[in-house]
Chains A and B, each alone.
Chain A
Amino acid sequence: MDNKLNNNNGKGNGKNLGALIAVGVSILFYFSLYIINKSIFIKSVNKFWESLTMILPFLFFVFIIMVITLLLFKPDKIKKYLGKKSGIKGMLLTSVAGILSVGPAYLWYPLIADLKEDGMREKLITIFIYNRAIKLQLFPLMIFYFGVKFSVIESLLIFIFSFIIGEIVEIFTVGNN
């Protein structure tokens, strides 16, 4: 088991190469900055360290919530509840699924495309994608940066607007077909 887990981790590191190159280029950039202008270099490093230490506890918290979400909500389970109904219940379920879905959006596209073939409406796909802008697991970080009032208003408006945008998309796509 340990070997398997280690192998998986190895693959992840391989995919991470592009991002690591980006860090490498940034460090090289900072190195040349040190040579060209030491004052700007020191100010930038201080600024960087200040920002990094501020977000670290929040990143740890986000990690814990991501693990819990992964344990509780499996993609196939969500598919089971969203495939059949498309009324208000379906809209609410789709929005909740959108809010709870973690990871990049394109990872969910094959699943949603499957649901579309099973009869999922364009409106529900839009609601799902739009509600992904509400990130429960990132809520503490959002409050940290923008405050409680902003975070609550923003999330509520996204939730409400997802239905309006869903209707618009359905009118323009299904209506014209």
Chain B
Amino acid sequence: MNFLNLEEDRKQIKLRIAILKTWKSFSMSIPIIITVLLFISFVQVVLPKEEYSKIFVGNTFLDSFVGATLGSVSLGNPILSYIIGGEMLKDGVSLIAVAAFIISWVSVGITQLPIEAHFFGKKFAIVRNIAAFFGSMFIGILIFLLMKI
């Protein structure tokens, strides 16, 4: 009986630690999510949709390039990339650009390049990031084509 109680306690402690660990990383992203939402809400009110179309010209290659560049220099939880990407779509930005943006957000890390180079070598970090950058652009174009089917 005692053993069963111990086992039950161990499971409960494990669960509590898992919840706390998750909360720790999660709670760190909450203020960032709020900040980004506050920023986006303001930008959406102040900048009319025509302003977005000036950055994303509707050219397949250029749009995916701009989207991938924005994603590459951005930092933070991928949840933010979905929120921003979703808002971009609503504002008329092309699917190619948004897809390239959300993929490069996670797979390309310009700001994290020194850390990556430190662990895996400069050459690896540079080649991997360049390949991932063009990969996200290419996937963006492919998604756009496949969505039409």
Contact = CB atoms under 8 A, between A and B. Distances in A.
Interface of A: 1, 5, 8-9, 12-13, 15-16, 19-20, 22-23, 25-27, 29-30, 33, 40, 43-45, 47-48, 51-52, 55, 59, 62-63, 66-67, 70-71, 102-103, 105-106, 109-110, 112-113, 116, 122, 125-126, 129-130, 132-133, 135, 138, 141-142, 144-146, 149-150, 153-154, 157-158, 161, 164-165, 168-169, 172-173, 176
A19 B32 CA distance: 6
Interface range, B side: 35 or more
The dominant DSSP class at the A interface is helix
Interface of B: 13-35, 37-42, 44-46, 78-79, 82-83, 85-87, 89, 95, 98-99, 102-103, 105-107, 109, 112, 115-116, 119-121, 123-124, 127-128, 131-132, 135, 138-139, 142-143, 146-147
A103 B27 CA distance: 12
A40 B132 contact: no
Contact of A142 (B16, B34, B82, B138): B82
A125 to B, nearest CB: 6
B38 A141 contact: no
Contact of B41 (A20, A48, A129): A48
B109 A59 contact: no
A153 to B, nearest CB: 5
Max chain A C-beta neighbours (<10 A), residue from B19, B95, B127:
B127
